[in-house]
């Protein structure tokens, strides 16, 4: 995963530096459709004094992911106060909606980032939440109307990634047969014992699962 790290300078108001153990991932839309309001634009903004006390961890556009804060420090993005769980225990992700970018692609990249962060920090999908959850703001406004579908996409991507990893554990000689069983939807998890792999290969040779 290609992530540009361009951290807010230490000492800025929006880099409070409180230690954070991330338990949630909070999703936002930038609400800025101006041309150039992409990840790099937001990176410049968030490092400037104009950002005030506002900060978050990642901005994603159709080209790039820029990280503004380490994930073990909190940002101020959830609107639930100085000790709120949104601000103090969640990783904030802003998805760009600049008119000169491809919004669908930006959202796709954000899903990849979310899956990566879930894995890295052991965060369950139930803890991938909207800004609205913390402070009732209508954010991420582009996703809220189809929030359920958005979460389903995250689940699918996460399980694809898990299956791909599990597939690496299958012995070489059984892989083509196991893959056929998966493609046919007969099995979900590719990993099994030696008997399972032998049976898979036998079924394949008998052309039962061609």
Q: Which of 164, 72, 151 is nearest to 114 (CA)?
A: 151
Question: Looking at 47, 88, 131, 133, which residue binds Zn ion (CB under 5 A)?
Answer: 131
Question: Looking at 139, 158, 170, 178, which residue binds Zn ion (CB under 5 A)?
Answer: 139
CB of 15 to Zn ion, least distance (A): 19
Q: Which is nearer to Zn ion, 117 or 139 (CB)?
A: 139
Q: Which is nearer to Zn ion, 28 or 133 (CB)?
A: 28
CB of 130 to Zn ion, least distance (A): 8
**Whole-number Å distance between alpha carbons of 23 and 46:** 23
Strands (E), the chain: 4-5, 24-29, 58-60, 65-67, 90-95, 128-130
Instruction: Find the part of the chain contacting Zn ion (CB under 5 A) among 1-9, 11-19, 34-42, 128-136.
Output: 128-136
**Whole-number Å distance between alpha carbons of 146 and 3:** 27
Q: Which is nearer to Zn ion, 147 or 196 (CB)?
A: 147
Element (H, E) at 42: helix 39-47
Half-sphere exposure of 61 (CA within 13 A, CB side): 25
Q: Which is nearer to Zn ion, 73 or 97 (CB)?
A: 97
For residue 77, what are the contacts with CB-CB under 8 A and spacing of at least 6?
26, 28, 54, 55, 56, 86, 87, 92, 94, 131
**Are 198 and 170 within 8 A, CB to CB?**
no
Instruction: Find the part of the chain contacting Zn ion (CB under 5 A) among 35-43, 137-145, 153-161, 183-191.
Output: 137-145
CB of 168 to Zn ion, least distance (A): 37
Q: Which is nearer to Zn ion, 75 or 190 (CB)?
A: 75
Q: Which is nearer to Zn ion, 71 or 203 (CB)?
A: 71
- Give the number of residues in contact with Zn ion, rule: CB under 5 A: 3
Question: Looking at 28, 68, 88, 109, which residue binds Zn ion (CB under 5 A)?
Answer: 28
Contact footprint for Zn ion (CB under 5 A): 28, 131, 139
């Amino acid at each position: 995963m290609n992530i540009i790290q361009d951290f807010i300078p230490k000492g800025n108001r929006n880099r409070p530096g409180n230690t954070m153990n991330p338990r949630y991932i909070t999703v936002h839309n930038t609400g800025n459709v101006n041309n150039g309001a992409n990840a790099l634009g937001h990176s410049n903004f968030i490092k400037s004094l104009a950002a005030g006390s506002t900060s978050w961890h990642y901005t994603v556009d159709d080209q790039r992911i820029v990280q503004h804060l380490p994930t073990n420090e909190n940002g101020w993005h959830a609107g639930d106060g100085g000790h709120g769980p949104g601000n103090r225990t969640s990783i904030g992700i802003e998805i760009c909606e600049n008119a000169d970018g491809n919004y669908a692609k930006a959202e796709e990249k954000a899903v990849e980032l979310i899956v990566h962060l879930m894995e890295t920090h052991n965060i369950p999908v139930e803890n991938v939440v909207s800004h609205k959850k913390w402070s009732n703001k209508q954010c991420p406004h582009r996703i809220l109307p189809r929030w359920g579908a958005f979460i389903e996409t995250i689940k699918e991507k996460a399980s694809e990634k898990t299956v791909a990893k599990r597939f690496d554990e299958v012995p070489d000689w059984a892989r083509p047969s196991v893959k056929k069983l998966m493609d046919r939807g007969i099995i979900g998890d590719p990993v099994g014992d030696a008997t399972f792999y032998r049976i898979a290969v036998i079924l394949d040779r008998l052309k039962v699962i061609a």
